[in-house]
Protein backbone atom coordinates (compact mmCIF):
# COMPACT_ATOMS: atom_id res chain seq x y z
CA UNK A 1 0.00 0.00 0.00
CA UNK A 2 1.45 3.28 -0.99
CA UNK A 3 0.59 6.79 0.04
CA UNK A 4 1.41 10.36 -0.86
CA UNK A 5 3.42 12.64 1.37
CA UNK A 6 3.63 16.37 0.74
CA UNK A 7 6.50 18.37 2.18
CA UNK A 8 5.21 21.78 3.24
CA UNK A 9 6.67 24.78 4.98
CA UNK A 10 7.80 28.29 4.28
CA UNK A 11 10.57 28.88 1.72
CA UNK A 12 14.14 27.96 2.64
CA UNK A 13 13.44 25.52 5.45
CA UNK A 14 14.93 22.66 3.44
CA UNK A 15 11.99 21.08 1.64
CA UNK A 16 13.85 20.43 -1.59
CA UNK A 17 16.89 19.15 0.25
CA UNK A 18 14.72 16.60 2.02
CA UNK A 19 12.91 15.73 -1.19
CA UNK A 20 16.23 15.02 -2.88
CA UNK A 21 17.33 12.85 -0.04
CA UNK A 22 14.11 10.84 -0.06
CA UNK A 23 13.92 10.45 -3.81
CA UNK A 24 17.60 9.85 -4.19
CA UNK A 25 17.89 11.60 -7.52
CA UNK A 26 18.50 15.26 -7.89
CA UNK A 27 15.06 15.93 -9.23
CA UNK A 28 14.38 19.09 -7.34
CA UNK A 29 16.54 22.13 -7.69
CA UNK A 30 18.03 23.46 -4.50
CA UNK A 31 18.88 27.07 -4.07
CA UNK A 32 19.90 29.31 -1.23
CA UNK A 33 17.60 32.08 -2.31
CA UNK A 34 14.01 31.71 -1.25
CA UNK A 35 11.33 31.77 -3.87
CA UNK A 36 13.47 30.83 -6.84
CA UNK A 37 11.40 29.60 -9.76
CA UNK A 38 10.86 25.88 -9.52
CA UNK A 39 8.48 23.34 -10.89
CA UNK A 40 6.37 21.09 -8.76
CA UNK A 41 8.38 17.98 -8.14
CA UNK A 42 6.98 14.59 -7.53
CA UNK A 43 9.01 11.46 -7.04
CA UNK A 44 9.04 8.02 -5.55
CA UNK A 45 10.60 8.08 -2.11
CA UNK A 46 12.36 5.19 -0.46
CA UNK A 47 12.74 5.15 3.26
CA UNK A 48 13.52 1.89 4.99
CA UNK A 49 11.09 -0.63 3.52
CA UNK A 50 8.59 2.05 2.57
CA UNK A 51 7.94 3.28 -0.95
CA UNK A 52 5.68 6.27 -1.32
CA UNK A 53 5.01 9.28 -3.49
CA UNK A 54 6.52 12.51 -2.28
CA UNK A 55 5.60 15.99 -3.43
CA UNK A 56 7.87 18.97 -2.93
CA UNK A 57 5.58 21.96 -2.61
CA UNK A 58 8.48 24.35 -2.96
CA UNK A 59 7.71 24.30 -6.67
CA UNK A 60 4.22 25.60 -6.11
CA UNK A 61 5.44 28.86 -4.68
CA UNK A 62 5.35 30.48 -8.04
CA UNK A 63 1.75 29.63 -8.76
CA UNK A 64 0.30 33.00 -7.78
CA UNK A 65 1.65 36.47 -7.17
CA UNK A 66 -0.08 36.99 -3.87
CA UNK A 67 1.72 38.18 -0.81
CA UNK A 68 3.77 35.55 0.96
CA UNK A 69 1.11 34.59 3.48
CA UNK A 70 -1.50 34.30 0.74
CA UNK A 71 0.82 32.19 -1.31
CA UNK A 72 1.70 29.96 1.61
CA UNK A 73 -1.95 29.48 2.34
CA UNK A 74 -2.78 28.32 -1.17
CA UNK A 75 0.26 26.08 -1.36
CA UNK A 76 -0.39 24.44 1.91
CA UNK A 77 -4.08 23.98 1.28
CA UNK A 78 -3.32 22.38 -2.06
CA UNK A 79 -0.80 20.10 -0.45
CA UNK A 80 -3.28 18.97 2.19
CA UNK A 81 -5.81 18.17 -0.50
CA UNK A 82 -3.33 16.28 -2.62
CA UNK A 83 -1.62 14.22 0.02
CA UNK A 84 -2.44 11.52 2.54
CA UNK A 85 -0.02 13.08 4.97
CA UNK A 86 1.78 16.40 5.20
CA UNK A 87 5.27 16.77 6.56
CA UNK A 88 5.72 20.29 7.81
CA UNK A 89 9.30 21.49 7.99
CA UNK A 90 10.46 24.42 10.05
CA UNK A 91 14.01 25.70 10.44
CA UNK A 92 15.29 24.80 13.91
CA UNK A 93 18.11 27.32 13.59
CA UNK A 94 15.76 30.20 12.94
CA UNK A 95 12.98 29.08 15.31
CA UNK A 96 9.26 29.58 14.78
CA UNK A 97 8.40 32.52 12.53
CA UNK A 98 4.97 34.06 11.91
CA UNK A 99 4.88 32.36 8.52
CA UNK A 100 5.53 28.99 10.19
CA UNK A 101 2.66 29.73 12.53
CA UNK A 102 0.41 30.55 9.61
CA UNK A 103 1.32 27.30 7.85
CA UNK A 104 0.72 25.28 11.02
CA UNK A 105 -2.63 26.94 11.54
CA UNK A 106 -3.74 26.06 8.03
CA UNK A 107 -2.69 22.46 8.59
CA UNK A 108 -4.56 22.28 11.88
CA UNK A 109 -7.66 23.91 10.47
CA UNK A 110 -7.76 22.08 7.20
CA UNK A 111 -7.53 18.65 8.78
CA UNK A 112 -5.57 15.64 7.70
CA UNK A 113 -2.54 13.93 9.05
CA UNK A 114 0.49 16.04 9.81
CA UNK A 115 4.01 15.21 10.89
CA UNK A 116 6.18 18.05 12.13
CA UNK A 117 9.93 18.15 11.66
CA UNK A 118 12.43 20.71 12.88
CA UNK A 119 15.02 20.73 10.13
CA UNK A 120 18.63 21.87 10.17
CA UNK A 121 18.73 20.35 13.62
CA UNK A 122 22.28 19.03 13.47
CA UNK A 123 24.33 20.42 16.34
CA UNK A 124 23.45 22.50 19.39
CA UNK A 125 22.43 25.64 17.48
CA UNK A 126 19.06 23.99 16.89
CA UNK A 127 18.06 23.35 20.51
CA UNK A 128 16.08 26.55 20.99
CA UNK A 129 14.19 26.21 17.75
CA UNK A 130 13.37 22.61 18.51
CA UNK A 131 11.64 23.62 21.71
CA UNK A 132 9.75 26.41 19.97
CA UNK A 133 8.50 23.88 17.42
CA UNK A 134 6.23 22.32 20.03
CA UNK A 135 4.22 25.52 20.17
CA UNK A 136 3.04 24.96 16.59
CA UNK A 137 0.47 22.59 18.04
CA UNK A 138 1.26 19.76 15.64
CA UNK A 139 2.65 17.33 18.16
CA UNK A 140 6.19 16.39 18.96
CA UNK A 141 8.65 17.56 16.32
CA UNK A 142 11.11 15.17 14.71
CA UNK A 143 14.65 16.38 15.02
CA UNK A 144 15.79 16.34 11.41
CA UNK A 145 18.76 17.27 9.31
CA UNK A 146 17.84 16.87 5.67
CA UNK A 147 21.32 17.83 4.62
CA UNK A 148 23.09 15.36 6.90
CA UNK A 149 20.47 12.65 6.76
CA UNK A 150 19.81 12.70 10.50
CA UNK A 151 16.40 11.91 11.96
CA UNK A 152 15.21 9.88 8.99
CA UNK A 153 14.64 6.88 11.23
CA UNK A 154 12.29 8.93 13.35
CA UNK A 155 10.47 10.00 10.23
CA UNK A 156 10.25 6.37 9.16
CA UNK A 157 8.84 5.28 12.48
CA UNK A 158 6.09 7.91 12.21
CA UNK A 159 5.27 6.89 8.66
CA UNK A 160 5.15 3.14 9.31
CA UNK A 161 1.93 3.05 11.33
CA UNK A 162 0.46 5.46 8.85
CA UNK A 163 1.30 3.23 5.97
CA UNK A 164 -0.30 0.34 7.84
CA UNK A 165 -3.33 2.45 8.68
CA UNK A 166 -3.78 3.51 5.08
CA UNK A 167 -3.53 -0.08 3.95
CA UNK A 168 -6.08 -1.13 6.51
CA UNK A 169 -8.23 1.81 5.62
CA UNK A 170 -8.52 0.67 2.05
CA UNK A 171 -9.72 -2.68 3.27
CA UNK A 172 -12.19 -1.22 5.72
CA UNK A 173 -14.40 1.81 5.66
CA UNK A 174 -11.97 4.49 4.82
CA UNK A 175 -13.50 7.93 5.05
CA UNK A 176 -15.28 7.28 8.33
CA UNK A 177 -12.22 7.48 10.53
CA UNK A 178 -11.73 10.83 12.22
CA UNK A 179 -8.47 12.62 11.85
CA UNK A 180 -6.92 13.93 14.96
CA UNK A 181 -5.33 17.30 15.49
CA UNK A 182 -7.29 19.35 13.09
CA UNK A 183 -9.96 21.99 12.99
CA UNK A 184 -8.28 24.01 15.65
CA UNK A 185 -8.20 27.74 15.79
CA UNK A 186 -5.74 29.58 17.95
CA UNK A 187 -5.97 32.91 19.62
CA UNK A 188 -3.45 34.82 21.62
CA UNK A 189 -5.31 35.51 24.80
CA UNK A 190 -8.33 33.29 24.93
CA UNK A 191 -8.66 29.57 25.38
CA UNK A 192 -10.03 28.53 22.04
CA UNK A 193 -12.36 25.74 21.10
CA UNK A 194 -15.41 25.49 18.87
CA UNK A 195 -13.67 24.38 15.72
CA UNK A 196 -15.05 25.17 12.32
CA UNK A 197 -16.97 22.00 11.67
CA UNK A 198 -16.21 20.84 8.18
CA UNK A 199 -17.32 17.32 8.91
CA UNK A 200 -19.95 15.89 11.17
CA UNK A 201 -19.07 15.30 14.76
CA UNK A 202 -18.43 11.58 15.00
CA UNK A 203 -20.10 9.81 17.86
CA UNK A 204 -20.09 6.14 18.80
CA UNK A 205 -22.54 4.59 21.23
CA UNK A 206 -20.98 1.62 22.93
CA UNK A 207 -22.09 -0.61 25.74
CA UNK A 208 -23.13 -4.04 26.77
CA UNK A 209 -25.74 -5.94 24.81
CA UNK A 210 -29.21 -4.82 25.93
CA UNK A 211 -28.00 -1.53 27.43
CA UNK A 212 -30.33 0.17 24.99
CA UNK A 213 -27.97 1.36 22.27
CA UNK A 214 -30.27 0.95 19.31
CA UNK A 215 -33.23 2.31 21.22
CA UNK A 216 -31.10 5.34 22.06
CA UNK A 217 -29.87 5.94 18.53
CA UNK A 218 -33.37 5.64 17.18
CA UNK A 219 -34.65 8.05 19.81
CA UNK A 220 -31.91 10.53 18.91
CA UNK A 221 -32.86 10.23 15.29
CA UNK A 222 -36.22 11.60 16.29
CA UNK A 223 -38.40 9.64 13.94
CA UNK A 224 -39.37 6.05 14.22
CA UNK A 225 -37.12 5.31 11.32
CA UNK A 226 -35.91 1.81 10.84
CA UNK A 227 -32.20 1.88 10.36
CA UNK A 228 -31.10 -0.25 7.52
CA UNK A 229 -27.42 0.11 6.92
CA UNK A 230 -25.93 -0.37 3.51
CA UNK A 231 -25.59 -4.09 2.96
CA UNK A 232 -26.03 -4.71 6.64
CA UNK A 233 -25.29 -8.23 7.63
CA UNK A 234 -22.88 -8.80 4.82
CA UNK A 235 -20.25 -6.64 6.42
CA UNK A 236 -19.25 -6.44 10.04
CA UNK A 237 -18.33 -2.79 9.60
CA UNK A 238 -19.91 -0.03 11.57
CA UNK A 239 -23.11 1.36 10.20
CA UNK A 240 -23.50 5.08 10.57
CA UNK A 241 -26.32 7.52 10.43
CA UNK A 242 -26.04 11.28 10.06
CA UNK A 243 -28.37 13.77 11.71
CA UNK A 244 -28.56 17.42 12.73
CA UNK A 245 -28.73 18.41 16.38
CA UNK A 246 -29.68 21.83 17.60
CA UNK A 247 -26.64 23.65 19.00
CA UNK A 248 -26.00 27.08 20.53
CA UNK A 249 -24.73 28.36 17.17
CA UNK A 250 -27.09 26.55 14.86
CA UNK A 251 -27.39 22.96 13.75
CA UNK A 252 -24.60 20.55 14.58
CA UNK A 253 -24.17 17.77 12.05
CA UNK A 254 -23.57 14.50 13.88
CA UNK A 255 -22.67 11.11 12.57
CA UNK A 256 -23.41 8.21 14.86
CA UNK A 257 -21.95 4.77 14.83
CA UNK A 258 -23.71 1.93 16.49
CA UNK A 259 -22.34 -1.30 15.23
CA UNK A 260 -24.34 -3.71 17.32
CA UNK A 261 -27.62 -1.97 17.80
CA UNK A 262 -28.12 -0.84 14.28
CA UNK A 263 -27.36 -4.15 12.80
CA UNK A 264 -29.85 -5.69 15.11
CA UNK A 265 -32.49 -3.23 14.06
CA UNK A 266 -31.56 -3.96 10.50
CA UNK A 267 -32.69 -7.47 11.27
CA UNK A 268 -29.33 -9.00 10.84
CA UNK A 269 -28.93 -12.48 12.14
CA UNK A 270 -26.15 -12.13 14.60
CA UNK A 271 -25.61 -13.75 17.92
CA UNK A 272 -25.95 -11.34 20.81
CA UNK A 273 -22.74 -12.39 22.48
CA UNK A 274 -20.75 -11.40 19.44
CA UNK A 275 -22.10 -7.86 19.64
CA UNK A 276 -19.98 -6.91 22.55
CA UNK A 277 -16.52 -5.66 23.19
CA UNK A 278 -15.14 -6.33 19.72
CA UNK A 279 -17.82 -4.15 18.18
CA UNK A 280 -17.22 -1.54 20.82
CA UNK A 281 -13.55 -1.44 19.98
CA UNK A 282 -14.27 -0.93 16.35
CA UNK A 283 -16.73 1.86 17.04
CA UNK A 284 -14.23 3.61 19.32
CA UNK A 285 -11.73 3.81 16.48
CA UNK A 286 -14.19 5.70 14.32
CA UNK A 287 -15.39 8.10 16.95
CA UNK A 288 -14.38 11.49 18.25
CA UNK A 289 -16.77 11.25 21.17
CA UNK A 290 -17.56 7.86 22.71
CA UNK A 291 -20.82 7.48 24.62
CA UNK A 292 -20.52 4.61 27.06
CA UNK A 293 -24.10 3.55 27.63
CA UNK A 294 -24.76 1.85 30.96
CA UNK A 295 -27.85 0.03 32.12
CA UNK A 296 -28.92 1.71 35.38
CA UNK A 297 -29.74 -1.68 36.83
CA UNK A 298 -26.23 -3.04 36.27
CA UNK A 299 -23.88 -0.07 35.93
CA UNK A 300 -20.08 -0.11 35.68
CA UNK A 301 -19.69 -3.77 34.84
CA UNK A 302 -16.17 -4.79 33.92
CA UNK A 303 -17.04 -4.68 30.23
CA UNK A 304 -18.22 -1.08 30.58
CA UNK A 305 -15.04 -0.12 32.39
CA UNK A 306 -12.88 -1.79 29.81
CA UNK A 307 -14.47 0.07 26.95
CA UNK A 308 -14.27 3.42 28.78
CA UNK A 309 -10.62 2.78 29.50
CA UNK A 310 -10.00 1.86 25.89
CA UNK A 311 -11.65 5.07 24.72
CA UNK A 312 -9.37 7.01 27.07
CA UNK A 313 -6.28 5.22 25.83
CA UNK A 314 -7.31 5.85 22.24
CA UNK A 315 -7.58 9.52 23.13
CA UNK A 316 -11.31 9.92 22.53
CA UNK A 317 -13.64 12.26 24.40
CA UNK A 318 -15.96 10.27 26.65
CA UNK A 319 -19.50 10.75 27.93
CA UNK A 320 -21.11 8.28 30.33
CA UNK A 321 -24.85 7.84 29.79
CA UNK A 322 -26.92 5.86 32.28
CA UNK A 323 -29.96 4.43 30.54
CA UNK A 324 -33.34 3.08 31.72
CA UNK A 325 -33.58 5.84 34.29
CA UNK A 326 -37.38 5.61 33.99
CA UNK A 327 -37.23 2.22 35.70
CA UNK A 328 -35.11 3.48 38.60
CA UNK A 329 -36.97 3.58 41.94
CA UNK A 330 -34.65 5.77 44.04
CA UNK A 331 -33.01 8.23 41.68
CA UNK A 332 -31.34 10.62 44.10
CA UNK A 333 -29.51 7.91 46.01
CA UNK A 334 -28.65 6.07 42.83
CA UNK A 335 -27.21 9.15 41.19
CA UNK A 336 -24.96 9.88 44.16
CA UNK A 337 -23.74 6.30 44.09
CA UNK A 338 -23.10 6.41 40.34
CA UNK A 339 -21.08 9.61 40.63
CA UNK A 340 -19.00 8.15 43.41
CA UNK A 341 -18.38 4.93 41.47
CA UNK A 342 -17.51 6.82 38.33
CA UNK A 343 -14.81 8.89 40.05
CA UNK A 344 -13.45 5.84 41.82
CA UNK A 345 -13.51 3.39 38.93
CA UNK A 346 -12.48 5.79 36.16
CA UNK A 347 -9.89 8.10 37.73
CA UNK A 348 -8.23 8.49 34.33
CA UNK A 349 -11.37 10.31 33.15
CA UNK A 350 -11.85 12.55 36.14
CA UNK A 351 -14.92 14.76 35.87
CA UNK A 352 -16.28 12.81 32.88
CA UNK A 353 -19.85 13.95 32.15
CA UNK A 354 -22.41 11.52 33.51
CA UNK A 355 -25.93 11.89 32.15
CA UNK A 356 -29.01 9.92 33.10
CA UNK A 357 -31.39 9.15 30.25
CA UNK A 358 -34.32 7.10 29.23
CA UNK A 359 -34.02 6.08 25.63
CA UNK A 360 -37.52 4.67 25.89
CA UNK A 361 -39.29 7.84 27.05
CA UNK A 362 -36.85 10.37 25.62
CA UNK A 363 -36.14 11.95 29.01
CA UNK A 364 -32.64 13.44 29.27
CA UNK A 365 -31.77 13.12 25.60
CA UNK A 366 -31.34 16.88 25.22
CA UNK A 367 -28.87 16.86 28.11
CA UNK A 368 -27.03 13.98 26.52
CA UNK A 369 -26.74 15.90 23.26
CA UNK A 370 -25.31 18.95 25.02
CA UNK A 371 -22.88 16.76 26.94
CA UNK A 372 -21.63 15.20 23.69
CA UNK A 373 -21.18 18.55 21.95
CA UNK A 374 -19.51 19.93 25.09
CA UNK A 375 -17.11 16.99 25.36
CA UNK A 376 -16.14 17.47 21.74
CA UNK A 377 -15.36 21.12 22.42
CA UNK A 378 -13.17 20.29 25.38
CA UNK A 379 -11.37 17.70 23.30
CA UNK A 380 -10.56 20.40 20.75
CA UNK A 381 -9.58 23.02 23.28
CA UNK A 382 -6.36 24.89 22.87
CA UNK A 383 -4.76 26.87 25.67
CA UNK A 384 -2.45 29.73 24.66
CA UNK A 385 1.19 29.29 25.64
CA UNK A 386 1.34 32.49 27.68
CA UNK A 387 -1.56 31.43 29.88
CA UNK A 388 -0.09 27.97 30.34
CA UNK A 389 3.23 29.34 31.53
CA UNK A 390 1.58 31.72 33.94
CA UNK A 391 -0.39 28.81 35.28
CA UNK A 392 2.69 26.57 35.46
CA UNK A 393 4.66 29.00 37.58
CA UNK A 394 1.73 29.25 39.99
CA UNK A 395 1.52 25.47 40.22
CA UNK A 396 5.27 25.12 40.84
CA UNK A 397 5.19 27.84 43.46
CA UNK A 398 2.31 26.18 45.29
CA UNK A 399 3.90 22.78 45.14
CA UNK A 400 7.44 22.46 43.72
CA UNK A 401 8.45 19.13 42.22
CA UNK A 402 10.16 16.92 44.80
CA UNK A 403 13.94 16.93 44.57
CA UNK A 404 15.11 13.31 44.28
CA UNK A 405 18.55 12.97 45.84
CA UNK A 406 18.56 16.65 46.65
CA UNK A 407 18.61 17.50 42.97
CA UNK A 408 16.15 20.23 42.06
CA UNK A 409 14.01 19.69 38.99
CA UNK A 410 13.36 22.90 37.12
CA UNK A 411 10.19 23.15 35.05
CA UNK A 412 11.10 25.81 32.53
CA UNK A 413 8.48 26.14 29.87
CA UNK A 414 5.21 24.63 28.81
CA UNK A 415 3.18 24.59 25.64
CA UNK A 416 0.22 22.73 24.21
CA UNK A 417 1.66 20.48 21.54
CA UNK A 418 -1.62 19.04 20.30
CA UNK A 419 -5.39 18.84 20.59
CA UNK A 420 -7.91 16.04 20.00
CA UNK A 421 -7.13 15.15 22.77
CA UNK A 422 -5.20 17.97 24.43
CA UNK A 423 -1.49 17.20 24.86
CA UNK A 424 1.05 19.34 26.68
CA UNK A 425 4.83 19.42 26.81
CA UNK A 426 6.80 20.61 29.80
CA UNK A 427 10.45 21.41 29.21
CA UNK A 428 12.44 20.62 32.28
CA UNK A 429 15.71 19.46 33.71
CA UNK A 430 15.81 15.70 34.45
CA UNK A 431 12.42 14.78 32.95
CA UNK A 432 12.96 11.14 33.89
CA UNK A 433 13.00 12.11 37.55
CA UNK A 434 9.62 13.83 37.60
CA UNK A 435 7.37 11.63 39.71
CA UNK A 436 4.18 10.17 38.26
CA UNK A 437 2.28 11.81 41.09
CA UNK A 438 3.61 15.21 40.07
CA UNK A 439 2.42 14.71 36.49
CA UNK A 440 -0.99 13.80 37.88
CA UNK A 441 -0.95 16.96 39.98
CA UNK A 442 -0.34 18.98 36.82
CA UNK A 443 -2.95 17.11 34.78
CA UNK A 444 -5.60 17.55 37.44
CA UNK A 445 -4.65 21.21 37.68
CA UNK A 446 -5.00 21.63 33.93
CA UNK A 447 -8.43 20.03 34.07
CA UNK A 448 -9.58 22.34 36.82
CA UNK A 449 -8.08 25.61 35.63
CA UNK A 450 -8.83 25.30 31.94
CA UNK A 451 -12.11 23.46 32.40
CA UNK A 452 -11.29 20.20 30.67
CA UNK A 453 -13.26 17.54 32.54
CA UNK A 454 -13.47 14.00 31.28
CA UNK A 455 -11.21 14.31 28.28
CA UNK A 456 -7.96 12.39 28.06
CA UNK A 457 -5.06 14.75 28.75
CA UNK A 458 -1.54 13.89 27.68
CA UNK A 459 1.50 15.39 29.38
CA UNK A 460 5.07 14.90 28.28
CA UNK A 461 8.16 15.87 30.20
CA UNK A 462 11.05 16.71 27.94
CA UNK A 463 14.57 17.93 28.44
CA UNK A 464 15.80 20.74 26.31
CA UNK A 465 18.31 18.86 24.24
P1 LIG B 1 13.17 25.00 0.48
O2 LIG B 1 13.04 26.39 -0.03
O3 LIG B 1 12.33 24.79 1.69
O4 LIG B 1 12.98 23.94 -0.56
O5 LIG B 1 14.70 24.85 1.03
P6 LIG B 1 15.98 24.22 0.32
O7 LIG B 1 15.92 22.75 0.31
O8 LIG B 1 16.18 24.93 -0.98
O9 LIG B 1 17.11 24.61 1.36
C10 LIG B 1 17.37 25.96 1.70
C11 LIG B 1 18.77 26.06 2.27
O12 LIG B 1 18.85 25.34 3.52
C13 LIG B 1 19.84 25.44 1.38
O14 LIG B 1 20.98 26.25 1.45
C15 LIG B 1 20.11 24.09 2.00
O16 LIG B 1 21.41 23.64 1.73
C17 LIG B 1 19.92 24.41 3.48
N18 LIG B 1 19.57 23.21 4.24
C19 LIG B 1 18.63 22.29 3.93
N20 LIG B 1 18.60 21.31 4.88
C21 LIG B 1 19.54 21.63 5.79
C22 LIG B 1 20.00 20.99 6.99
O23 LIG B 1 19.54 19.91 7.41
N24 LIG B 1 20.97 21.63 7.69
C25 LIG B 1 21.51 22.81 7.27
N26 LIG B 1 22.44 23.35 8.04
N27 LIG B 1 21.11 23.41 6.14
C28 LIG B 1 20.15 22.83 5.39
P1 LIG C 1 -28.87 -2.80 22.61
O2 LIG C 1 -28.62 -4.27 22.59
O3 LIG C 1 -27.89 -2.10 23.46
O4 LIG C 1 -28.98 -2.18 21.25
O5 LIG C 1 -30.28 -2.60 23.36
P6 LIG C 1 -31.75 -2.36 22.77
O7 LIG C 1 -31.89 -0.97 22.27
O8 LIG C 1 -32.10 -3.45 21.84
O9 LIG C 1 -32.59 -2.47 24.11
C10 LIG C 1 -32.59 -3.62 24.91
C11 LIG C 1 -33.85 -3.68 25.75
O12 LIG C 1 -33.87 -2.60 26.72
C13 LIG C 1 -35.12 -3.53 24.94
O14 LIG C 1 -36.08 -4.39 25.47
C15 LIG C 1 -35.51 -2.08 25.15
O16 LIG C 1 -36.89 -1.87 25.02
C17 LIG C 1 -35.07 -1.85 26.58
N18 LIG C 1 -34.76 -0.42 26.81
C19 LIG C 1 -33.98 0.38 26.05
N20 LIG C 1 -33.96 1.62 26.58
C21 LIG C 1 -34.73 1.61 27.68
C22 LIG C 1 -35.10 2.61 28.65
O23 LIG C 1 -34.70 3.78 28.59
N24 LIG C 1 -35.91 2.22 29.67
C25 LIG C 1 -36.38 0.95 29.77
N26 LIG C 1 -37.16 0.67 30.79
N27 LIG C 1 -36.04 -0.01 28.87
C28 LIG C 1 -35.24 0.30 27.84
The ligand minimizing its distance to the Cα of 205 is: 2
The ligand minimizing its distance to the Cα of 36 is: 1
State residue 71's pLDDT score.
65
State residue 38's pLDDT score.
42
Is 59 annotated in a binding site? The answer is: yes
Measured CA to CA, the distance from residue 162 to residue 240 in angstroms comes to 24
Edge to edge, the sheet with strand 41-47 lists 41-47, 50-56, 4-8, 85-91, 113-119, 142-143
Q: What is the DSSP string of 251-298?
A: EEEEEEE-HHHHHHHTT----GGGSSHHHHHHHHHH-SEEEEEEETTS
State residue 44's pLDDT score.
84
Judge if ipTM > 0.85: no
Edge to edge, the sheet with strand 411-418 lists 411-418, 423-428, 458-462
Checking if the pLDDT of 136 tops 60, the result is yes
State residue 293's pLDDT score.
94
Domains and CATH numbers, the chain: 4-174 (3.40.50.300), 201-226+236-263+273-380 (3.40.50.300), 385-463 (3.30.300.20)
Closest atom of ligand 1 to 34 CA is 2
State residue 258's pLDDT score.
63
> Hey, how many other C-beta atoms are within 10 angstroms of the C-beta on 310?
18
Checking if the pLDDT of 108 tops 60, the result is yes
Q: Whose CA is nearest to atom 18 of ligand 1?
A: 14
State residue 279's pLDDT score.
65
Q: Which of 450, 350, 459, 343 is nearest to 401 (CA)?
A: 459
> Per residue in 403-428, pLDDT tens?
888 888 899 889 888 888 999 999 99
State residue 249's pLDDT score.
74
Q: Whose CA is nearest to atom 13 of ligand 1?
A: 32
Measured CA to CA, the distance from residue 445 to residue 186 in angstroms comes to 21
Is 140 annotated in a binding site? The answer is: no
Mutation to probe ligand 1, out of 30, 34, 56, 125 (largest number of atoms < 8 A from CB): 30
Instruction: Please tell me which residue, 81 or 144, carries the higher pLDDT value.
Output: 144
Q: Give yes or no for residue 33 CB within 6 A of ligand 1.
A: no
Q: Give yes or no for residue 36 CB within 6 A of ligand 2.
A: no
Region 216-224: mean pLDDT is: 72
> Per residue in 158-211, pLDDT tens?
898 777 666 544 444 333 333 333 333 333 334 444 334 447 888 998 888 788
Helix (H) or strand (E) holding 16: helix 15-23
Helix (H) or strand (E) holding 70: helix 68-82
State residue 165's pLDDT score.
65
The 3-class secondary structure across 192-229, one letter per residue, is ECCCCCCCCEEEEEEECCCCCHHHHHHHHHCCCCCCCC
> Per residue in 421-449, pLDDT tens?
999 999 998 898 899 999 999 999 999 99
> How many Cα neighbours within 13 Å face the side chain of 359?
23
Residue 343: pLDDT band with limits 50, 70, 90 = very high
Measured CA to CA, the distance from residue 416 to residue 140 in angstroms comes to 10
Helix (H, G, I), strand (E, B) or coil at 462: strand
Measured CA to CA, the distance from residue 115 to residue 103 in angstroms comes to 13
Instruction: Please tell me which residue, 104 or 57, carries the higher pLDDT value.
Output: 104
State residue 119's pLDDT score.
97
Q: Give yes or no for residue 16 CB within 6 A of ligand 1.
A: yes
Is 262 annotated in a binding site? The answer is: yes
Q: Whose CA is nearest to atom 26 of ligand 1?
A: 120
Measured CA to CA, the distance from residue 309 to residue 306 in angstroms comes to 5
Q: Which of 262, 45, 291, 289 is nearest to 152 (CA)?
A: 45
**How far, in Å, is the centroid of ligand 1 from the Cα of 160?**
25
Residue 222: pLDDT band with limits 50, 70, 90 = low
Q: Give yes or no for residue 359 CB within 6 A of ligand 2.
A: yes
Amino acid sequence: MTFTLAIVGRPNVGKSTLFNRLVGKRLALVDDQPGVTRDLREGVARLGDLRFTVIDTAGLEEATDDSLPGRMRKLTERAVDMADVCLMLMDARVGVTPVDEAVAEILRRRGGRVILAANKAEGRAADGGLIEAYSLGLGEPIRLSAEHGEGLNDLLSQLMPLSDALGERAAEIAEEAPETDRDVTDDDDAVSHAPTRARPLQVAVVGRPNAGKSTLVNALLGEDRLLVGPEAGITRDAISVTMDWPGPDGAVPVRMFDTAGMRKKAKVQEKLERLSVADGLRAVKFAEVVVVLLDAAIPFESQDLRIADLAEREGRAVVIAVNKWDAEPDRAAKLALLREECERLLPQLRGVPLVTVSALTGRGLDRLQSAIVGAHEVWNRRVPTARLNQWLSGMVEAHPPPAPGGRRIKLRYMTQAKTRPPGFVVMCSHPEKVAESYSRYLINGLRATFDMPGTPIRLWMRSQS
